[in-house]
Amino acid sequence: MDTPLGAHATTRPRPLSYSRAWDTGVPRIADARDAVAALLSRVRPAPARRSVQDARLVVSELVTNAALHAPGPCALRLELTPDGAALRVSVTDSSAEPPRRRPPDPLRVGGHGLFLVALLSRGLEVTWLPHGKRVTATVPLTAEEE
């Protein structure tokens, strides 16, 4: 179980974060992408447009994979790293199957999501939970050039 960020008193400011859980039905992928844009709009200095697009794509792919391959509830957690240099994206689902990255194939329709996630993030981490898993990707953010 995740501990809410505000559960422990600290003297440091809390990093920007967002979380959402879907108990039933298919999550709206657009809502997940919009949550990334809303969270990153509060970051100063503002992340580059390309960084925001990359983060939205990573969230879209991970939430879509959870919706397609895992029955039951899923959750999304977004957290800016304390230095503001990256966004940690975590998607929790009920499947015990590990994510499988398929080799790139330009002739195949679909099945490129984890390849894109790996390309746009600093690795893919899987944490096994009692009833499923949490998949986490860290997307680097670069500051908007003036």
| pLDDT for the residue 12 | 53
The domains found in the chain, sorted by start residue, are 16-140 (3.30.565.10)
Check the CA dihedral 57-63-66-71 and report its sign: negative
Name the band, by pLDDT with cuts 50, 70 and 90, for residue 77: very high
16 or 143, which is more confident? 16
Record the tokens describing residue 43, joined without a space.
């970051």
Closest CA to 69 of 110, 105, 36, 32: 110
Residue pair 95/69 in contact by the 8 Å Cβ criterion: yes
pTM of the model: 0.84
Name the band, by pLDDT with cuts 50, 70 and 90, for residue 3: very low
pLDDT at 35 over 60: yes
Residue pair 113/61 in contact by the 8 Å Cβ criterion: yes
List phi, psi (to 5°) of 21. -125, 145
